[in-house]
Amino acid sequence: MRSSEKGNFLVRFLNKDTANSSNTSEQLPLWRQLVIQLLCLVIVAEVMFPIMYIVTLSLSSKSNRPSALELFPKEISFVAFQQVLDRPTANPITFVELLRNSFLVSISVGLVSLLIAVSAAYAFSRFKFKLRTVLMVLVFIPLLMPAVGLSTPLFLLMNSLQVKVCTSGITAFYPFVKCDPINTGRVLFNLRDSLIGVGIAMVSTALPFAVWNLKGYLDTIPKELEEAAYIDGADANQTFFQIVLPLALPQLAVTFFIGFIGHWQEFVLPWLFLTQPKDYTLAMTLYNMTGQYANSIPWNRFAAMAIIVALPVALVFVALQKQIVNGLTSGGVKG
Amino acid sequence: MTAIASSSIKKDKAFRSFLPYLYLLPAFVVLGIITFYPLIFQVIISFSDFSTKDLMLQLRSPKLNWIGFQNYIDIITGGLPVQNFNFVRVLSYNFWWAITNVILHVPAGVLIANLMNIKGIWFKRIYRAIYVLPVVIPPIVIGTVWRNIYDEQYGAFNRLLTDISLLFGGNPIHTRWLLDINPPIPWLLPTGGLPNAYYAMMIANFWLGWPFMVLVATGALQSIPKELYEAAAIDGASKSKQFWNITVPLLQPAMIPAAVYGFTLSFNLFNFVYFLSGGGPNRMTELLVTFAYDLVRNLRLYGAAGAFAVIIFVVALVIFLITNKVTKATESYI
């Protein structure tokens, strides 16, 4: 008995899988298809259980704690979304400003670490030199060292760079020029208490990851291309800029997005560093909503905010799923 | 490339031996300031009683006392002014947590990827899109929502279990998933059993962990040549034989690095643990990272936190050296 999927346009469309499009017209018997469908649906239920919980909460008009197991929304109200967009926190900061701060930090962290990492990755991938293994271990260690472990010294380091207007009227640039010890003056700018400072601190974990990730990909680019270029008279710099970089472009994009995703959700460093509400990010706002006690969480707004924070990441990930996974694993896979 | 280098003129050779360092320079300048300097600073203050009083003047603070290895001794012997902290227990739990997670995630990922790789399944694309969802939800949300799911009174999990239990004529379930300190399996580990919270977090992290393994395994499965299976089928190998003798060995090069990656992710799973159990009850599910955060953020024992960071560093180095043997990540391509 054959299933009738051939005639069904929708089913055929959904099955169209570019990676498996060999022309063998082998078809599953219907009973096996049904068993597999059942299994797939069980897995879907497992995956969707917490997700439907969040979606249902976000569409509720009540902010109190859910007291029953509701996985399908009884009412569809966008009150929570509206409240979150109008007034995301108790602080005087608009949703657009939060969004801007989040984008600024995560995009610049992704870009800066990428630019610095690519040349280092090239060196590790293509050159043999004395300190190679030692330096690689040095770059890899921060990957295993959580950002929390470095937060105190980073805090103190950034905090020592300040611009102050002294009471005597002079502008002082700490730590180079200082006010009198007695007249401390007014702080104009504190690197620690700024988005730039937080971004720099985040690079400390983003950069080693980018080096590692790009090195793995560069290893998979056939070196014959560069040898050919060398024979044609190109020097190492020319091969790097004109051959390796263009070939690595897709992976550069993926590395950027992985950096972007990771730091879009980061809240520990911003939370430790930033004090002014105008610098807050979306992830911090989300953290702000989760109080000590479950009863104090405005559940519907929390869920709505969660969906808003997750959405950009989800879209990027679903779109670049294959490339991101290849990028993450190519580091260890060698032919 | 070495062959070419040796055949070129001497001046070029000298330049080429210098060139890699030039390419590494920007990265190491940046890392020097924001990673290595902080690490060295942590090492220095780990020998002091650095705390809130010293934040202004830092190392020049007159109140700063140099106390030698006291912080390290306090951490390892449990002498910190912190309740319920036992270093050996936290460390061994941290390893146990990471290993048991990977042991569950990888086979689940491989099996589900194989399921999704069967030719001619309906709605394949929809399933694949849904299965990736846990990866993309912010960890804060995952932690907070699962925490609420495990609430003994209001939580969805107990309600689900109650519904099932009532269906079979049982009683309502009121398990204290995150707060009960009595281990359900007391003999599980040499350091004593693990509380309900561990099993609850394993379930939640299973939800979070396997989709990534499916992604990796799917990619690897699609690179296995179909001819191998056809040839095996002609030779009369059964489906299960094909799975064990073709699929499993050919998935290994992709799954081992993914497992190592998953191990380090689980090992340092800060957001998830912090928001789900907060390391509780009685620090029984505390990881090294969550405790480090607690030392800095709440207890403000910066000196002890420095010593703790150094210990984490040493543990990380050991893990790296072992996993590097497996994945050969630092090995030269040339």
Domain membership of residue A209 (yes or no) is yes
Same domain? For A52 and A127 the reply is no
Report CB contact under 8 Å: A20, B119.
yes
Looking at residue B329, its pLDDT comes to 63
Domain membership of residue B130 (yes or no) is yes
Report CB contact under 8 Å: B156, A334.
no
Would you say residue A23 has pLDDT above 50? Answer: no
Mean pLDDT computed over A111-115:
92
Would you say residue A2 has pLDDT above 50? Answer: no
Q: Quote the ipTM score.
A: 0.77
Looking at residue A20, its pLDDT comes to 44
Q: Give the pLDDT band (50/70/90) at residue A295.
A: low
Domain membership of residue A295 (yes or no) is no
Looking at residue B139, its pLDDT comes to 80
pLDDT tens string A235-291: 878 888 888 888 888 888 888 888 888 888 888 888 888 988 888 888 888 888 876
Q: Tell me which chain A residue has its CA closest to the CA of residue B309.
A: A149
Name which residue leads in pLDDT, A97 or A261: A97
Looking at residue A8, its pLDDT comes to 44
State the distance between the two ends of chain A, measured CA to CA, in whole angstroms. Answer: 42
Same domain? For A79 and A110 the reply is no
Q: Does B334 touch chain A (CB under 8 A)?
A: yes
Looking at residue A181, its pLDDT comes to 65
Domain membership of residue A294 (yes or no) is no
Centre a 10 Å sphere on the Cβ of residue A193 and count the other Cβ atoms it contains.
Answer: 17
Report CB contact under 8 Å: B219, A325.
yes
Looking at residue A328, its pLDDT comes to 65
Residue spans of alpha helices (H) in chain B: 2-7, 10-31, 37-45, 70-77, 87-116, 124-131, 133-136, 139-149, 156-167, 196-222, 226-234, 239-242, 248-267, 270-276, 288-297, 302-327
Looking at residue A217, its pLDDT comes to 80
Domain membership of residue B137 (yes or no) is yes
Of B117, B125, B136, the CB nearest to A317: B136
Same domain? For A135 and A36 the reply is no
Largest distance between two CA atoms of chain A: 92
Fill in the amino acid letter for B321.
Answer: L
Report CB contact under 8 Å: A283, B140.
yes
Q: Give the pLDDT band (50/70/90) at residue A21.
A: very low
Counting as low any pLDDT under 70, the low residues of chain B are: 1-13, 58, 191, 328-334
Q: Which domain CATH number covers B174?
A: 1.10.3720.10
Distance CA A89, CA A100 (A): 15
Name which residue leads in pLDDT, B102 or A320: B102
Same domain? For A101 and A130 the reply is yes
Quickly tell me which residue has 């020998």 as its tokens. B47
Percent of chain A whose pLDDT exceeds 90: 11
pLDDT tens string A220-235: 788 888 888 888 888 8
Domain membership of residue A160 (yes or no) is no
Domain count for chain A:
2
Domain membership of residue B208 (yes or no) is yes
Of A53, A123, A286, the CB nearest to B138: A286
A-chain CB neighbours of B138 within 8 Å are 265, 283, 286, 306, 309-310, 313
Find all residues with CB under 8 Å of A93, minimum gap 6, and list them.
Answer: A277, A278, A280
Same domain? For A251 and A142 the reply is yes
Distance CA B134, CA A314 (A): 9
Looking at residue B10, its pLDDT comes to 61
DSSP B118: S
Same domain? For A244 and A120 the reply is yes
Same domain? For A138 and A206 the reply is yes
Would you say residue A5 has pLDDT above 70? Answer: no
In a mutational test of the B interface, the residue from A2, A35, A40 whose CB has the highest number of chain B CBs within 10 Å is A40
**Residue A327 CB-half CA count within 13 A:** 23
The two structure tokens encoding residue A13: 């469309």
What is the residue range of A33's domain? 4-10+27-84
pLDDT tens string B92-147: 899 999 999 999 999 999 999 988 888 888 888 888 888 888 887 878 888 888 88
Domain membership of residue B10 (yes or no) is no
**Residue A191 CB-half CA count within 13 A:** 16
Report CB contact under 8 Å: A17, B268.
no
Domain count for chain B:
1
Q: Does A227 touch chain B (CB under 8 A)?
A: yes
Average pLDDT, chain A: 79
Same domain? For A214 and A258 the reply is yes
